[in-house]
């Protein structure tokens, strides 16, 4: 019996690795059709008596405003181009901050958020965090930074039933994602910490202040992301 249980567990582990690595490789090229969070939100909408809806339109990265790409980097992960999935310095700083503050901070990078959104469920458990580390390693290994950004900006929750840059641009500004200007891009990025809580149409002071801060950071960063130059710069610095 113990041998049968052991063989079953071993097969499950092997199957998990095959399926996880295989799905990461597939999504290196194919659009992500739906995520666990989208399905969870649909259930919550139905149970809450709201219309069940998923508004999303997949767009390649070259059809998403470079201003929005820069805005999310400035607001969520300023070391996105240079790190390998985890911002160790930010993690250490947040650990020290959380020791003395009630409002806890996280240091999830864009890569970590992408891994969580595409492959996992929303939770603060150590088990989910462990899977997040694993999938973050996989996407940093098999995907380029451009692909991580492309997937991130197509699946991230940006409102009630609104997922991705194109759906958000249409919902908030009645325009395509490629046509967003810096102010609009910063406004969308400013609500990412709480897309179901904050509204662009009637933003609270926190969101307005955050939008202004993001605009300043965008100017300081240099205006536009250049993935290749930044990656080369990062490699030369390490050497």
State how beta strands 162-163 and 157-159 pair.
antiparallel
17 falls within a domain: no
Q: What confidence category does residue 234 fall into, taking pLDDT thresholds of 50, 70 and 90?
A: very low
Does residue 15 fall inside a structural domain? no
Asked if 191 and 207 count as a contact pair (C-beta separation under 8 A), the reply is: yes
- Which residue's structure tokens are 């409102």? 159
Specify if 5 maps to a domain: no
Distance CA 207, CA 148 (A): 26
Higher pLDDT, 223 or 47: 47
Q: Name the pLDDT band for 228 (thresholds 50, 70, 90).
A: confident
Q: What is the pLDDT of residue 164?
A: 97
Cβ atoms 120, 128 nearer than 8 A: yes
Euclidean distance between CA atoms 209 and 204, whole angstroms:
9
152 in Cβ contact with 59 (< 8 Å): no
Strand residue runs (E) in the chain: 157-159, 162-163
What is the rounded (10 degree) CA torsion for 132, 133, 138, 144?
Answer: 90
Looking at 179-226, list the stretches that DSSP marks H as alpha helix, in order from N- to C-terminal side.
Answer: 182-190, 205-221
Model pLDDT, residue 94: 67
Establish if 186 belongs to a structural domain: yes
Residue 199 has phi, psi (to 5 degrees) of: -120, 135
pLDDT tens profile 92-101: 776 666 666 6
How many structural domains comprise the chain?
1
Range of the domain at 83: 31-37+54-238
Mean predicted confidence (pLDDT) in 20-42: 96
pLDDT band, residue 106 (cuts 50/70/90): low
Higher pLDDT, 89 or 7: 7
Confidence of residue 107 (pLDDT cuts 50, 70, 90): low
22 lies in a domain?
no
Q: Is the pLDDT of residue 222 over 90?
A: no
How confident is the model at residue 197, as a pLDDT?
Answer: 92
| pLDDT over threshold 50, residue 237 | no
Asked whether residue 49 is domain-assigned, the answer is no
CATH, residue 58? 1.10.3810.10
Report the chain's mean pLDDT, rounded to a whole number.
89
Cβ–Cβ < 8 Å for 106, 93: no
The answer to whether the pTM exceeds 0.85 is: yes
pLDDT band of residue 4 (cuts 50, 70, 90) is confident
The per-residue pLDDT for 108 is: 87
Which residues neighbour 155 within 8 Å (Cβ) at sequence distance 6 or greater? 32, 35, 38, 56, 114, 117, 118, 163, 164
Asked if the model's pLDDT at residue 153 lies above 90, the reply is yes
pLDDT band per the 50, 70, 90 thresholds, residue 125: confident
Tell me if 224 is assigned to some domain.
yes
Asked if 161 contacts 123 with a C-beta cutoff of 8 angstroms, the reply is no
Percent share of the chain, pLDDT over 70? 90
Q: Which of 40-44, 63-67, 76-80, 123-127 has the least mean pLDDT?
A: 123-127
Q: With respect to residue 25, please indicate whether it lies within any of the assigned structural domains.
A: no
Burial class (CB in 10 A: 0-12, 13-18, 19+), 214: buried
- DSSP tally for the chain: helices H, then strands E: 11, 2
Mean pLDDT across 60-66: 96
pLDDT of residue 52: 94
**Sign of the CA dihedral 178, 180, 181, 187?**
negative
Please say whether the beta carbons of 159 and 196 come within 8 A. Answer: yes
Report the C-alpha gap between 45 and 161 in whole angstroms. 9
Mean pLDDT throughout 114-141? Answer: 93
């Amino acid at each position: 019996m113990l041998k049968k249980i052991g063989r079953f567990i071993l097969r499950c582990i092997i199957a998990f690795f095959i399926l996880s690595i295989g799905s990461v490789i597939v999504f290196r090229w194919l659009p992500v059709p739906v995520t666990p969070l989208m399905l969870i939100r649909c259930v919550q909408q139905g149970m809450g008596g709201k219309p069940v809806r998923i508004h999303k339109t997949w767009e390649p990265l070259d059809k998403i405003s470079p201003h929005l790409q820069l805005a999310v980097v400035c607001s969520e992960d300023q070391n996105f181009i240079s790190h390998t999935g985890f911002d160790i310095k930010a993690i250490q700083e947040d650990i020290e901050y959380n020791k003395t503050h009630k409002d806890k901070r996280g240091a999830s990078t864009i890569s970590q958020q992408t891994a969580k959104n595409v492959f996992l469920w929303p939770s603060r458990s150590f088990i989910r965090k462990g899977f997040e580390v694993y999938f973050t390693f996989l996407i940093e290994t098999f995907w380029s930074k451009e692909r991580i950004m492309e997937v991130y900006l197509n699946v991230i929750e940006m409102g009630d039933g609104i997922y991705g840059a194109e759906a958000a641009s249409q919902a908030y500004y009645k325009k395509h994602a490629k046509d967003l200007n810096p102010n609009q891009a910063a406004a969308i990025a400013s609500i990412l910490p709480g897309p179901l809580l904050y509204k662009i149409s009637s933003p609270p002071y926190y969101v307005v202040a955050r939008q202004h801060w993001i605009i300043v950071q965008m100017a300081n960063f240099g205006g536009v992301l250049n993935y290749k130059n930044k990656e080369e710069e990062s490699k030369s610095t390490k050497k």
